[in-house]
Amino acid sequence: MKGIEILPLTGVPEIRPGDDLAGLISRSTRHWLRAGDILVVTHKIISKAEGRIVDLDTVEPSALAKRFAAEHGKDPRQIEVVLRESRRIVRMDRGVIISETHHGFVCANAGVDASNVPGTESVCLLPVDPDASARRLRERISELTNFDLPVIVSDSFGRAWRFGITDVAVGVAGMASLADYRGGKDPHGNSLEASVLAVADELAAAAELVMGKTDGVPVAIIRGYDYERVAGSGKDLLMPPERDMFR
Amino acid sequence: MKGIEILPLTGVPEIRPGDDLAGLISRSTRHWLRAGDILVVTHKIISKAEGRIVDLDTVEPSALAKRFAAEHGKDPRQIEVVLRESRRIVRMDRGVIISETHHGFVCANAGVDASNVPGTESVCLLPVDPDASARRLRERISELTNFDLPVIVSDSFGRAWRFGITDVAVGVAGMASLADYRGGKDPHGNSLEASVLAVADELAAAAELVMGKTDGVPVAIIRGYDYERVAGSGKDLLMPPERDMFR
């Protein structure tokens, strides 16, 4: 029975700005990596290695940030960082900000996150370009291990209408983010119209199952999934604005 | 390295109304099931076994269904079925209907699906009560195999803001749908405020990776995931209306 395995990478130390993430992952995995494996890396350790951490003491909140924070018992400096990371506010209500980030992701708090950041006075941002982060990691790991592995950078997003967060792919390198069955037929000869599968999001969600929130597992290896070999991009997972009914 | 395995169940025949799904799954899996396994079953075969198939020739479309179908080149009878399966229309635009089903799911076309249904003149509905379907399957499989396995009933849903569909859990029995880390602390002592994980949705998404759309794999077994043993319900994955910012 050919299935898929999802393997956690444990023992990754706390990552600091400038750390060599590719070297660290390569050293930890090289004895058991296999051709065909996919690497899923939580954005948090990439953001940390890339120095995407903001010391809240350096942030001067705007009047809007101060007002919203006061109304909802939030830290005005953290709200200010969320506003700066946004290019469009979708909802700003009940203490929650749903916005579109400069990358085009629609998510809560523009991906700004205070959990798993050392010290309560700093927050972690999304990488500037998660696809580029995925590409760099993939290229360097390929040099170090001789394995040409796709890399997915993941983050936890909320969803409209559904409770709870799930991990999605914010950056992708070395594989197709989507599996497009449009134009195909099912075994009964019916067209598969609505069948573009967001497989990179499903792989990120699967990886989360071995990561957990508190266990210090920032990397998972997915083995046995037959991906499509292309350059890839997390941007393929964004709803084109002209088709977006929930802007 | 303790990971998770996702195993496809192949060789499941075309399911017809009245078929004994629990017997069929039990016979196909009993030689390799293990304690702790989770069964993910696509709703399609459950709907078929439960007779949730509508012959479009029996459907008289309403004026609204006729008008919308004519505007967007759709089958008015299929639109009529979608309207009947809906209790609230969220968006009805560009040939797409996003509605809330009688169960409370917000999804495209109220879960009405023409793919993988024999004959082009019939469509498949969601089970009347996917939690009850999951419970019945779980109880009967437990009787037949002596394995007390959680059952997740899955369907493919689109998402606001993100392109492509992913599988989610519409029915759950025997495990918690959510992993709630609220009130917990990360390794740095920061509160994990936003950390309720929709693990049943992540398990459904992981299962889809071995199911594909056309391969005739309607069941997956997930091995090695440490779930929380409770009665469980897919309704836990619905955003409570008072917290829903996208009604």
Phi, psi (rounded to 5 degrees) for A217: -115, 90
Rounded to the nearest integer, the mean pLDDT of chain B is: 92
C-alpha A68/C-alpha A74 separation (Å) is 8
Q: Is B167 on the interface with A (CB under 8 A)?
A: yes
| CA-only gyration radius of chain A, Å | 19
Q: Is B172 on the interface with A (CB under 8 A)?
A: no
**CATH topology classification for A5-51+127-237:** 60s Ribosomal Protein L30; Chain: A; (3.30.1330)
At residue B212, the pLDDT reads 77
Which residues of A fall within a CB distance of 8 Å from B160?
106, 159-161, 239, 244-246
Q: Please indicate whether the domains covering B5-51+127-237 and B54-123 agree at the CATH topology level.
A: no
- Between B7, B195, B205, which is nearest A213 by CB? B195
Instruction: Render pLDDT for B143-202 as a digit per residue (tens, 0 to 9).
Output: 999 999 999 999 999 999 999 999 999 999 999 999 988 777 666 666 655 689 999 999
CATH entry 3.30.70.1380 includes domain A54-123: no
Name the DSSP class of A23: H
At residue B11, the pLDDT reads 85
Q: Is A168 on the interface with B (CB under 8 A)?
A: yes
Rounded to the nearest integer, the mean pLDDT of chain A is: 92
Domain boundaries, chain B: 5-51+127-237, 54-123
Instruction: Render pLDDT for A155-170 as a digit per residue (tens, 0 to 9).
Output: 999 999 999 999 999 9
- For testing contact with chain A, the best of B34, B209, B223, B238 (most A CBs within 10 A): B209
Instruction: Render pLDDT for A198-222 as a digit per residue (tens, 0 to 9).
Output: 999 999 999 999 997 666 899 999 9
Inspect the interface and report whether the beta carbons of B181 and A206 lie closer than 8 Å: no
Phi, psi (rounded to 5 degrees) for A121: -100, 15
Structure tokens at A244: 């977006």
Question: What band does B216 get if pLDDT is binned at 50, 70 and 90?
Answer: confident
CB pairs under 8 A between A and B: 256
- Between A105, A163, A194, which is nearest B238 by CB? A163
Phi, psi (rounded to 5 degrees) for A46: -70, -45
- For testing contact with chain A, the best of B202, B215, B237, B238 (most A CBs within 10 A): B202
Chain A: give the shortest CA distance to residue B115, in Å. 6
Q: Is A122 on the interface with B (CB under 8 A)?
A: no
Q: Of A232, A20, A14, whose CA–CA distance to A144 is shortest?
A: A20
Whether the Cβ atoms of residue A29 and residue A145 lie closer than 8 Å to each other: yes
Q: Of A67, A106, A112, whose CA–CA distance to A90 is shortest?
A: A106
Counting every residue written for chain A, the total comes to 247
At residue B119, the pLDDT reads 63
Complex ipTM tops 0.90: yes
| CA angle (B227 as vertex; B225, B231 as ends), nearest 5 | 145
